[in-house]
Amino acid sequence: MAKVAFLLASGFEDSEMKNPYNAVKDAGHEVIVVGLEKGAQCDGKKGTVSYTADLGASEAKSEEFDAVIIPGGGAPEALRVNEEVIRFVKEVNEQGKLIAGICHGPQVMISADVLKGKAATCYIGIRDDVKLAGADYRDEEVVVSENLVTSRTPVDEPAFIREILAKLA
């Protein structure tokens, strides 16, 4: 079974964390919440779910994980400015491992410079940023491009989860 990091800070879109997290866990994979600091409480922007960071980004070792999932909402903005988060995502990408982001999640991919030459989708508000980062932007429910899986909004979660589970299988 895979060991999967969920990158999280407060302000994430509740369902974009809860649904993939539960699906990956229910499929038998090990799930680890990686936050800005170990033990940090991460609250969803709608207040329906809350998680505690199992690891801080500075403790996250890319070689110990098989995949990284980045829920959207406001959390990616806080994550993308953290050097340790960016180091971790870059290393996971260099190892060719799965990186999945939904909604604003690709903001972290932009900062980690992992979109160049790949196809991706995202929340429409960051579409231009994704294009400027070198991605072939596609307005589709889910886009799989090499090791990346991206989706647009909570409506696309079923397709997002399906492709993540297929990559982890």
Catalytic residues: 103-104
How many helices (H) and strands (E) are present in the chain, helices listed first? 6, 11
d(CA 149, CA 76): 16
CA dist 48 and 40 (Å) reads: 17
H or E element, residue 24: helix 14-26
Task: Quote the DSSP letter at residue 58.
Answer: G
Residue 166 CB-density burial (10 A; 0-12 exposed, 13-18 middle, 19+ buried): exposed
Q: What's the angle, vertex CA 141, arms to CA 136 and CA 143, rounded to 5?
A: 40
Please give the DSSP secondary-structure letter assigned to residue 52: E
